[in-house]
Structure 1
Amino acid sequence: MDKWVTYAVISMIFAGFTSVIAKMGLAGISGELGLAVRTMFVAVFVIGFAALFVAPAELKSLAPHNLFWLGVSGVTTSLSWIFYYKALKQGEVSTIALIDKASFIVAVLLAWLILKEQITPRVILGCVLVGSGLLVVAYRPAT
C-alpha cells in the first residue's frame, strides 16, 4: 500500500474522533469559543510538529505563490471550521459530519475545473454514493 493511503486512513480515523470529541467539548460553551480553544491547541501542536520535522533549509523554498495559496487555504479552512462548529453546537454529529464529508464532491469538481484532474466513472460513482448517503442520513420524515 502506498504511504499516502496509509496517511489518508489515519487522517480519516482521527477525523472521526474529532467531531465526537468536539461535540463533547462544546457542552456549556458557544461553538465560537470552542473553535477558538481548539484552534489554539492545533496551532501549538502543528508548530511543534513542524519544528521537529521541517528542515530549516526547506524554509528557503517558500515562494510568494506558496504563501498566497496556503493563506487562501487557511482562510477557507477557517470559514469551514467556523460554520462546522456552529452546526456541531446545534445538530447531530452523524448528519453534520456527513454533510461536511460531502466536500469530497466539491473538491472533485474544483480539482477538475482548476487542476484539470480527470473525473473517471469510478469517481462519478463515488460522488453519487456520497451524495446518496448524505440524502439517506439527512432525510427526516415528517412526524
Structure 2
Amino acid sequence: MWWVYALLSALFAALVAIFAKVGMKGVDSDLATAIRTVVILFVAWGIAYFRGATNGIQLLTRNNLIFLGLSGVATGLSWIFYFRALQLGKVAQVASVDKLSVALAIVFSVVFLGEALTIKTAIGALCIIGGTLILVL
C-alpha cells in the first residue's frame, strides 16, 4: 500500500512545479513560498484534526520534536530554493535536478540510518544521477 501513497506523492509533486511556475509570474519566489506554506499549514492541520491525529500531540518526545523541527527547517529551505530555481529555470530541468534528492536520500539512509544498500537500489540511484547529468548538461 505504501507505493500508492508514493505514487500520489509523485503526482502532486509534479503538479507543484506546474502550478508554481504559472502562479509565480511576476511574484517574488520567497513570497510565493510563504503563501504556499500558509496554505499547507491549514491543509495539514485540518487533515490531522479531522483524522484525530492531534490527540497524540502530548505523546511527542523531545527527540520527536527536535527531528520533526529539523525536518521542517529542511523542508522550508528546500521549498525556498525550489521556487527560486523554478522562477529562473525550466520546469523539466528544475524538477529533474530536484529528484536528485532520491539518490541523496538513498545515500543518507545507508550512512545515517544503517539501511542496507542493495544492488537494485544502487543501480536505481546511479540511473537517477546519470539522468540528471544528461538533463543538466
TM-score normalised to the size of structure 1? 0.92
Q: Which runs of 4+ in 1 moved over 6 A?
A: none
Identify the residue that residue 110 of structure 2 maps to in structure 1. 112
Give the AA of the match of 1:19. A
- 1:25-50 deviation digits (Å, cap 9, x = unpaired): 00111111111111111111111111
Separation (CA, whole Å) in 1 of partners of 2:130 and 2:40 = 33
State the match for 1:136 in structure 2. 134
Q: Which of 124, 127, 133 in structure 2 is aligned with 1:126? A: 124
Residues in 1 aligned to 2:37 and 2:30: alpha-carbon distance in whole angstroms: 10
Question: What amino acid sits opposite 2:43 in the alignment?
Answer: F
Q: Which runs of 5+ in 1 are unaligned?
A: none
**Cα RMSD (Å) of the superposition?**
1.0
Match of 2:93 among 92, 95, 103: 95
Deviation for aligned residue 1:56: 4.5
Mapped partners of 1:113, 1:95: distance in 2:
28
Partner Cα distance (2:51, 2:110) in 1 = 32
CA distance in 2, matches of 1:16, 1:73: 21
Question: What is the rounded CA distance, in whole Å, between the counterparts of 2:11 and 2:83 in structure 1?
Answer: 19
Match of 2:17 among 10, 16, 19: 19
- CA deviations 1:19-75 (Å, max 9, x no partner) are 011000001111111111111111111111111113444223211110000000001
Q: Which runs of 5+ in 2 are unaligned?
A: none
Residues 122, 51 of structure 1: alpha-carbon distance in 2 compared, 3 angstrom cutoff: same
Quote the residue 2:45 is aligned against: 47
Which of 23, 26, 34 pairs up with 1:36?
A: 34
Q: How many residues align?
A: 137
Among all aligned residue pairs of Structure 1 and Structure 2, give the percentage whose two residues are the same amino acid: 34
TM-score of the superposed pair, with normalisation by structure 2? 0.96
Deviations 1:100-142 (A, max 9, x none): 1111111111111111001110011001110111011112xxx
